[in-house]
Amino acid sequence: MGNKNHKLKKIRKFISPPTLDELPVEILYKILDELDVSTIFISLYHVCKRFDKILSSYNKYHLNFKNISLTNFNLICSRIHPEQVTELTLSDDDDNLGIIELFLSKFSFHTFTRLHSLTLIQINNEEFLNQILISIADRNSLVNLSSIKIINVDETYGDLFIEVIMTVLTKPSLRQVYFDLSYSRTTTNPLPWIEQCSIKQLTFRGICTVNFVRNTLICVPTLEIFKVDDFDFDEEIDLNHIPTHQEDDSSEEENYENQLTRKVQFASIESTNNLKSLTLNACSMSMSKLEWVLQEIITLKRFRLITAPLYDDESILDGYRWESLVSNMEKFQFVFSVNLSNDSKWDADTCIEKFQTPFWINEKQWFVTLEKYDDEIILYTLPYLNNFFVLKNESNLFEYRSTANENLLLKIQSMNNVHDLYIDASNMKKSQLEVTNFVYILFNSSIYFRIFLFLVFLMLQIYISMVNGQNQKHF
């Protein structure tokens, strides 16, 4: 009997799952990969000696000091070693005032030997920012740094910042750069490249002059992905356009037609052969300028295009015109929001037909949806590109078209990218909710988004009923 119990204990021990502190260190490392640093050092530290030993040997910490309390900041700084950190986020915004100064008093950037990624947010003290960047610019320090991200929407930087940041960009290890800096606050010739760089992905939240784009592609021949809001052509000379007396004598209507159809020509960009992806997030360029850009950068395989507010070049809605420009691309995604002129002859059926050719439907399988609200046209590829969607009020001349009517799966997935819904409820009436585009959005969205929209729809119905009831009481 004793032998049987002994065997049962052995079997139970064999088949029972291990406790957390019995797991192999490799599995515990994987768990740590998914936890934020505050959870690790507040909840796991001093649980047992084995955990303390693992936490001291783990070397993939992601330090995010944005929205952190001073108590937790001091606790983490006392328990971590710089060589264990691979990602670091520093913020000096209103929720983290004084954190940067404290951090620099505790650590030297040269000691973060394994650092791969650095994010700097709202560091308004230029002295502190330059102190950080000068440490990074040293070729012998942070040799593993591959990504840098700087976000600041308030501060004006001086010449030293520009000089230091350009030196940082020449680090051989650097591959990804993200700048949310308005160059109008820094210098009229933003980021003058010093020497060739090894960057592969470059993102600017702002407008770049075409000349800056030229210099970038020359000094960053390895660039594969380029994201920017827009290109500025103000300093460019159209080599095809030489004003004549005949043009001066022509009518305004004729000049407008010529602007829509004529081709433009500027000094060549001389694009690198490695640039494969271009994103324009707030494009105000005319269609003729877009044509010139795409004909200059012939290596593109992926193109994302979102027009700026109040965009008014109707020719961007011409599917025939786009075919020759994007024929060699693997992916073309866009959201065109175009304001029509008062005398516009634009027609929804004619427009959608130009996106129903074999090129769009069969060869590329790129499907589009069109919405018309009075004098505004919204034309976009499916799935919808942006992570937000604006639900507008009903218009008197609302129209809806789609080339994906027979593609049920795509219609279901058409709003999969949408995380935020904005509803313009100003002057909205109950009758509008019953007949507005809300219905087709509801049926064109992913299942989870449709459920959410349905709940919002019900709440709006209740709200408007309550408002109408209160209004009736006053009578």
Residue 434 lies in a domain: no
Residue 402, strand partner residues:
369
What are residue 206's phi and psi, to 5 degrees? 160, -170
Residue 444 lies in a domain: no
Domain count within the chain: 2
Range from 129-133, 173-177, 367-371, 404-408 carrying the lowest mean pLDDT: 404-408
> Would the pTM count as exceeding 0.85?
no
Please check whether residues 308 and 322 belong to one and the same domain: yes
Please check whether residues 314 and 419 belong to one and the same domain: yes
Domain of 421, CATH number, reads 3.80.10
Q: How confident is the model at residue 316 (pLDDT cuts 50, 70, 90)?
A: very high
Please check whether residues 157 and 31 belong to one and the same domain: no
Please check whether residues 220 and 108 belong to one and the same domain: yes
- Which pLDDT belongs to residue 162? 83
Q: Which domain holds residue 18?
A: 12-58
* Alpha-carbon distances, residue 406 vs 263, 367, 412, 415 (angstroms): 37, 11, 11, 17
- Which pLDDT belongs to residue 163? 86
What are residue 180's phi and psi, to 5 degrees? -105, 70
Three-state DSSP at 247 gives helix
- Which pLDDT belongs to residue 61? 92
Please check whether residues 169 and 315 belong to one and the same domain: yes
What average pLDDT does range 129-144 have in this prediction? 90
Residue 473 lies in a domain: no
Final residue of a domain: which of 402, 426, 450? 426
Residue 418 lies in a domain: yes
* Cα torsion through 78, 81, 82, 86, rounded to 10: -110
More confident residue, 332 or 179: 332
Residue 266 lies in a domain: yes
Token pair 């592609």: residue: 217
What average pLDDT does range 341-363 have in this prediction? 93
End-to-end CA distance of the chain: give it in Å, rounded: 91
How far apart are the C-alpha atoms of 100 and 107, rounded to whole Å? 10
- Which pLDDT belongs to residue 333? 96
Please check whether residues 72 and 47 belong to one and the same domain: no
Q: How confident is the model at residue 436 (pLDDT cuts 50, 70, 90)?
A: very low
Structure tokens, 17:
């799952």
| Residue 13 confidence (pLDDT) above 60 | no
pLDDT in tens, 292-314: 999 999 999 999 999 998 899 99
Please check whether residues 288 and 210 belong to one and the same domain: yes
Q: How confident is the model at residue 435 (pLDDT cuts 50, 70, 90)?
A: very low
pLDDT in tens, 156-192: 667 788 888 889 999 999 999 998 875 444 434 456 7
What letter would DSSP give residue 298?
A: T
Give which of 210, 147, 205, 211 is closest to 181, Cα–Cα: 205
Please check whether residues 79 and 34 belong to one and the same domain: no
Token pair 């700026």: residue: 308
What letter would DSSP give residue 276?
A: -
Please check whether residues 18 and 149 belong to one and the same domain: no
Query: DSSP string covering 38-66, please?
Result: HHIIIIITTS-HHHHHHHHH---EEEE-S
Which pairing describes strands 399-402 and 368-373: parallel, antiparallel, or unpaired?
Answer: antiparallel
- Which pLDDT belongs to residue 27? 87
Residue 145 lies in a domain: yes
How far apart are the C-alpha atoms of 22 and 470, rounded to whole Å? 65
**Cis amide bond preceding 383, omega within 30:** yes
Token pair 């919204």: residue: 378
Query: DSSP string covering 75-86, please?
Result: HHHHH--GGGEE
Range from 160-169, 252-261, 350-359, 417-426 carrying the lowest mean pLDDT: 252-261
Q: Residue 376: how many CA atoms within 13 Å on its side-chain side? A: 15
Residue 105 lies in a domain: yes
Please check whether residues 70 and 89 belong to one and the same domain: yes
- Which pLDDT belongs to residue 268? 82
- Which pLDDT belongs to residue 447? 46
Final residue of a domain: which of 58, 73, 93? 58
pLDDT in tens, 440-465: 555 544 444 555 655 666 676 666 66
Quick one: which H or E segment has residue 204? strand 201-209
More confident residue, 398 or 171: 171
Contacts by residues 91-97 (CB-CB < 8 Å, ≥ 24 positions apart) = 91/65, 91/66, 91/67, 91/120, 91/121, 91/122, 91/123, 92/121, 92/122, 92/123, 92/124, 92/125, 92/128, 93/66, 93/121, 93/122, 95/66, 95/67, 96/65, 96/66, 96/67, 96/68
What average pLDDT does range 394-403 have in this prediction? 79
Residue 139 lies in a domain: yes
More confident residue, 292 or 52: 292
Task: Return the number of other C-beta atoms located less than 10 Å from residue 274's C-beta.
Answer: 14
Three-state DSSP at 221 gives coil
Please check whether residues 187 and 279 belong to one and the same domain: yes
Give which of 412, 302, 399, 385 is closest to 352, Cα–Cα: 399
Please check whether residues 194 and 78 belong to one and the same domain: yes
Final residue of a domain: which of 395, 410, 426? 426
| Residue 279 confidence (pLDDT) above 60 | yes
pLDDT in tens, 365-392: 999 999 888 889 999 999 988 888 877 7
| Residue 116 confidence (pLDDT) above 90 | yes
Q: Where do runs of H (alpha helix) occur along 252-326? A: 252-261, 287-296, 319-326
Q: How confident is the model at residue 275 (pLDDT cuts 50, 70, 90)?
A: very high
